[in-house]
């Protein structure tokens, strides 16, 4: 039975015509089906393989000469792939030969550079070289020890006793701002002083200042300009030397001098008395004369022994004392506080004024003089707790020592001024008055208005507080240090995570037009990764490890790392342990996420964040904003999306697949630091591939990422 479609109008056309039309339609439908099948075969055997062939050939000729094509397709496509494979092997051999020639040519230069780097690295002084914007271009191990602490950073973060400087960034690293390590108000006046000396064509165009380091170090800093061939300032070097050791050596020398005087003085008195007796009585009895001779001989031997002993001791402490240098008053007070509490058990509370106070001091003598006064005040008044208040009074900086107890009489202070400055075994030959006069200072008892004990170190005006009669005021000449309008231009030559998460990578608060216009090759990036108890933070999964590495100007800085385990304060699945290998016992005693995230934020600074499947990691961090108080607003790039941009024909964009395509070895897969290092290498290899597509800037990379298939879901 033949079924005639209704649209042919069964009653209007003869049966044979209708059958003919139906046959024609059947043939047409069959032809179209065959054509569709043929086109599907063509697409799968030729079109898609050719697209992959083009992408993978580009990999061979750009970032991974060792890559070999492995695709399925038609016979002609496979033949073409074989030809490309043969040419790729020749190309790789040619590249190896070129690299060998380059290595031979540059070997001597590299050796010289390595020798120079080794010398700079092992210098006893800390060295920082910075560009015009204050970015660090070079640093050595000693600078890291002075400004950051031990090379393996202990947790918690930096020494809380150190005053915050710059942006409060405790990390030293290439591309970071020096103003996060050394107060800008110290560096800028030094550069201004250098510029003035250069204008006057002075031979020694350097400047000095004092800055606190980590722990108990006090750094004498020398700023040295570097000039280009035209004689213009192109950079500056900061050279750091810990003068605490010099202070200790100076103390030992002064103590040796004082003990030498005390030891020899009685012997000299005895010798003088004996000689005077002999001279006055030339006809004295021989037995008496022999007695005086014995006294002279005995005392001379004793004096010689003392001289020999002190000469030997002195040779071990010989060296120059620190010069008179400009420093912030608060740094001087911090040094006094540490010395008073650690060495003499005197409790000192410091109160800072809102304005910075600059002074020029001989660090050793002024510290010892104030310690001498504090020690005498303790003995005289019975007070063992003092408040140090530093304020500006016209052209002076007034340093007030405040205590609870009876006031100091002016006559008592004048008696102290006549004494040599000695505190325990430390001392200098000068009297207290000589130290004060050397600094152009004045000291007297005064009625003071200190801050209330409940106020912190950064209080404002204190006129509403009651006066305290027990006080001593030291006036030091204030140094004018007005910051110039502009900084002088100075510089030196298993199963992957879920792919999507509800986090919008493309709407970070820190994204700006200026950043979007920056070339990818010039970005400072923090490449990071997290390991977690599971894949679902909404139901309580927690971060247990954060690892990160920095990229500066296209270089992966393997020595500048962040690697920290985190105590999740909860258990987790055994299945997740099989992935990342982090046992619960390894997290006992580790800091919690509210302590780790602020440190990670300081490590990242204002750099670009880079991660693989970044939405997952960023979502985990976002879930901890409330508990940690940390909100990361940095722009974010995702290597998963960037891989989809450069290789749209590839179906798989896991970290392992991308690493294999680009020739990146993953060491420590599913460890936060290992994955971060691999992601960093992948990102650097994606940059030239993006450039081939005309994508050169951060903004262009973000826009291209947003248009990929993998970004189709709401983040």
DSSP 12-51: TS-HHHHHHHHHHHHHHHHHHHHHHHHHHHHIIIIIHHHH
DSSP 603-637: HHTTSEEEETTHHHHHHHHHTTHHHH-------EE
| Mean pLDDT (whole number) for 630-649 | 92
Q: b/e for 432-448, b at 16 or more Cβ within 10 A? A: bbbbbeebebebebbeb
Give the pLDDT score at 260: 65
Q: How far is residue 482's CA from residue 192's CA, in Å, rounded to a whole number?
A: 10
More confident residue, 324 or 31: 31
More confident residue, 590 or 270: 590
DSSP 193-235: HHHHHHHTT-S---EEEEEE-STT-EEEEEEEEEE-TTS-EEE
Give the pLDDT score at 473: 86
More confident residue, 449 or 405: 405
- The reply to whether omega before 654 is within 30° of 0 (cis) is no
Structure tokens given for 355: 């304005």
User: Is residue 168 pLDDT above 60, yes or no?
Assistant: no
Split at pLDDT 50, 70, 90, the class of 571 is confident
Q: How far is residue 303's CA from residue 266's CA, in Å, rounded to a whole number?
A: 9
Give the pLDDT score at 254: 59
User: What is residue 469's DSSP assignment?
Assistant: S
Split at pLDDT 50, 70, 90, the class of 316 is very low
Give the pLDDT score at 167: 37
Range name among 100-109, 174-183, 377-386 with the lowest pLDDT average = 100-109
Split at pLDDT 50, 70, 90, the class of 148 is confident
β-strand partners of 221: 209, 240
End-to-end CA distance of the chain: 59
More confident residue, 49 or 144: 144
Q: How far is residue 249's CA from residue 251's CA, in Å, rounded to a whole number?
A: 5
DSSP run (H or E) holding 704: helix 698-706
Specify whether the CB–CB gap between 175 and 135 falls below 8 A: yes
User: Is residue 177 pLDDT above 60, yes or no?
Assistant: yes
Give the pLDDT score at 493: 33
Range name among 339-343, 353-357, 455-459 with the lowest pLDDT average = 455-459
Structure tokens given for 447: 């009625």
Give tens-digit pLDDT for 420-439: 888 777 777 788 888 888 87
Residue 512 CA to its chain's centroid (Å):
24
- Minimal CA–CA distance to 520: which of 702, 379, 373? 702
**505-711 adopts what CATH topology?**
Nucleotidyltransferase; domain 5 (3.30.420)
Q: How far is residue 672's CA from residue 530's CA, in Å, rounded to a whole number?
A: 5
Q: How far is residue 459's CA from residue 451's CA, in Å, rounded to a whole number?
A: 8
Specify whether the CB–CB gap between 88 and 663 falls below 8 A: no
User: Is residue 558 pLDDT above 70, yes or no?
Assistant: yes
User: Is residue 365 pLDDT above 60, yes or no?
Assistant: yes
Give the pLDDT score at 113: 63
User: Is residue 465 pLDDT above 90, yes or no?
Assistant: no
3-state DSSP assignment of residue 500:
coil
Q: How far is residue 399's CA from residue 393's CA, in Å, rounded to a whole number?
A: 10
Give the pLDDT score at 411: 87
Count of all residues that appear for the chain in the document: 715
Residue 320 CA to its chain's centroid (Å):
32
* Range among 206-220, 493-507, 544-558 with highest mean pLDDT value: 544-558
| Mean pLDDT (whole number) for 238-248 | 75
In the CATH scheme, what architecture does the domain 326-477 have? 2-Layer Sandwich (3.30)
Give the pLDDT score at 25: 79
- Minimal CA–CA distance to 710: which of 629, 653, 668, 661? 653
Burial of 327 (0-12, 13-18, 19+ CB in 10 A): buried
| Mean pLDDT (whole number) for 371-393 | 87
User: Is residue 490 pLDDT above 50, yes or no?
Assistant: no
Q: How far is residue 233's CA from residue 186's CA, in Å, rounded to a whole number?
A: 19
Q: How far is residue 304's CA from residue 623's CA, in Å, rounded to a whole number?
A: 76
Give tens-digit pLDDT for 622-639: 989 999 999 999 999 999
| Mean pLDDT (whole number) for 492-501 | 47
Split at pLDDT 50, 70, 90, the class of 309 is low
Give the pLDDT score at 250: 53
Give the pLDDT score at 455: 40
Give the pLDDT score at 566: 93
Specify whether the CB–CB gap between 602 and 173 falls below 8 A: no
Tell me the HSE value of 421 on the side-chain side, using a 13 A CA sphere.
24
Give the pLDDT score at 533: 86
User: Is residue 186 pLDDT above 50, yes or no?
Assistant: yes
Give the pLDDT score at 459: 39
Query: Which class would CATH give 123-243?
Result: alpha beta
More confident residue, 670 or 651: 651
User: Is residue 645 pLDDT above 50, yes or no?
Assistant: yes
The mean of the pLDDT values for the chain is 77
* Range among 11-20, 99-108, 604-613 with highest mean pLDDT value: 604-613
* Range among 20-24, 177-181, 272-276 with highest mean pLDDT value: 177-181
Structure tokens given for 660: 């294999």
User: Is residue 319 pLDDT above 80, yes or no?
Assistant: no
| Mean pLDDT (whole number) for 671-698 | 93
Give the pLDDT score at 464: 44
More confident residue, 608 or 468: 608
* Range among 322-331, 594-603, 706-715 with highest mean pLDDT value: 594-603
Split at pLDDT 50, 70, 90, the class of 549 is very high
Give the pLDDT score at 478: 63
| Mean pLDDT (whole number) for 336-358 | 81
For the chain, percent of residues with pLDDT exceeding 90: 16
For the chain, percent of residues with pLDDT exceeding 70: 76
Q: How far is residue 478's CA from residue 494's CA, in Å, rounded to a whole number?
A: 65
- Minimal CA–CA distance to 557: which of 619, 623, 603, 513? 603
- Minimal CA–CA distance to 241: which of 213, 222, 220? 220
Q: How far is residue 432's CA from residue 421's CA, in Å, rounded to a whole number?
A: 6
| Mean pLDDT (whole number) for 1-14 | 56
Q: How far is residue 71's CA from residue 306's CA, in Å, rounded to a whole number?
A: 91
Q: How far is residue 14's CA from residue 552's CA, in Å, rounded to a whole number?
A: 84
DSSP 633-683: ---EEEHHHHHHHH-TT-S---HHHHHHHHT---SSTTSHHHHHHHHHHHH
| Mean pLDDT (whole number) for 685-698 | 93
| Mean pLDDT (whole number) for 680-699 | 94
Tell me the HSE value of 491 on the side-chain side, using a 13 A CA sphere.
9
Give the pLDDT score at 160: 37
């Amino acid at each position: 039975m033949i079924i005639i479609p209704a649209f042919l109008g069964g009653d209007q056309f003869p049966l044979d015509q209708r059958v003919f039309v139906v046959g024609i339609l059947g043939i047409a439908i069959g032809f179209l089906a065959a054509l569709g099948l043929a086109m599907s075969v063509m697409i799968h055997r030729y079109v898609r393989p050719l697209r992959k062939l083009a992408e993978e050939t580009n990999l061979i000729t750009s970032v991974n000469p060792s890559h070999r094509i492995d695709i399925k397709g038609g016979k002609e496509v496979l033949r073409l792939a074989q030809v490309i494979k043969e040419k790729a092997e020749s190309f790789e051999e040619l590249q190896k030969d070129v690299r060998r020639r380059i290595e031979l040519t540059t070997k001597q230069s590299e050796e010289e550079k390595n020798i120079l780097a080794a010398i700079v690295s092992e210098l006893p002084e800390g060295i920082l070289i910075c560009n015009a914007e204050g970015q660090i271009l070079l640093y050595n191990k000693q600078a890291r020890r002075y400004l950051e602490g031990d090379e393996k950073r202990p947790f918690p973060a930096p020494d809380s006793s150190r005053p915050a400087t710059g942006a409060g960034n405790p990390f030293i690293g290439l591309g970071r701002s020096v103003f996060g390590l050394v107060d800008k108000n110290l560096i800028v006046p030094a550069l201004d002083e250098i510029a003035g000396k250069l204008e006057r064509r002075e031979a020694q165009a350097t400047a000095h200042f004092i800055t606190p380091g980590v722990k108990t170090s006090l750094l004498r800093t020398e700023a040295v300009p570097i000039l280009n061939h035209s004689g213009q300032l192109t950079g500056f070097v900061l050279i750091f030397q810990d003068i605490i050791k010099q202070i200790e050596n100076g103390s030992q020398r002064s103590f040796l001098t004082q003990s030498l005087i005390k030891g020899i003085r009685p012997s000299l008195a005895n010798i003088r008395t004996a000689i005077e007796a002999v001279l006055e009585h030339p006809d004295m009895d021989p037995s008496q004369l022999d007695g005086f001779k014995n006294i002279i001989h005995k005392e001379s031997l004793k004096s010689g022994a003392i001289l020999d002993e002190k000469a030997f001791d002195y040779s071990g402490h010989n060296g120059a004392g620190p010069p008179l240098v400009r420093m912030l008053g608060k740094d001087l007070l911090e040094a006094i506080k540490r010395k008073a509490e650690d060495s003499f058990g005197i409790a000192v509370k410091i109160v800072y004024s809102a304005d910075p106070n600059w002074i020029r001091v001989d660090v050793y003598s002024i510290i010892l003089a104030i310690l001498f006064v504090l020690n005498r005040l303790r003995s005289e008044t019975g007070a063992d707790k003092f408040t140090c208040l530093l304020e500006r009074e016209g052209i002076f900086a007034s340093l007030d020592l405040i205590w609870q107890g009876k006031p100091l009489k002016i006559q008592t202070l004048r008696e102290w001024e006549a004494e040599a400055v000695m505190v325990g075994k430390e001392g200098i030959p000068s009297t207290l008055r000589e130290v004060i006069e050397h600094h152009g200072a004045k000291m007297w008892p005064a009625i003071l208005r200190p801050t209330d004990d409940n106020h912190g170190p950064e209080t404002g005006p204190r006129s509403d507080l009651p006066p305290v009669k027990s006080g001593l005021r030291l006036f030091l000449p204030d140094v004018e240090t007005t910051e110039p309008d502009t900084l002088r231009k100075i510089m030196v030559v298993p199963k992957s995570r879920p792919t999507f998460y509800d986090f919008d990578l493309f709407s970070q608060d820190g994204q700006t037009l200026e950043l979007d216009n920056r070339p990818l090759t010039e970005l400072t990036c923090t490449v990071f990764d997290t390991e977690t108890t599971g894949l679902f933070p909404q139901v309580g999964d927690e971060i247990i490890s954060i690892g990160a590495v920095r990229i500066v100007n296209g270089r992966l800085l393997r020595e500048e790392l962040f690697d920290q385990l985190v105590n999740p304060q909860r258990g987790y699945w055994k299945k997740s342990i099989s992935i990342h290998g982090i046992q619960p016992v390894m997290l006992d005693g580790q800091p919690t996420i509210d302590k780790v995230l602020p440190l990670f934020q300081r490590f990242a600074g204002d750099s670009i964040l880079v991660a693989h499947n970044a939405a997952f990691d960023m979502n985990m961090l976002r879930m901890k904003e409330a508990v940690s108080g940390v909100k990361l607003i940095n722009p974010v790039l995702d290597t998963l999306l960037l891989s989809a941009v450069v290789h749209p024909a590839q179906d798989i964009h896991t970290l392992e697949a991308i690493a294999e395509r680009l020739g990146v070895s993953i060491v420590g897969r599913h460890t936060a630091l290992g994955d971060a290092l691999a992601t960093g290498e992948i990102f650097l290899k994606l940059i030239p591939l993006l450039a081939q597509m005309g994508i050169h800037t951060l903004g262009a990379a973000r826009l291209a990422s947003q248009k990929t298939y993998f970004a189709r879901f709401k983040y």
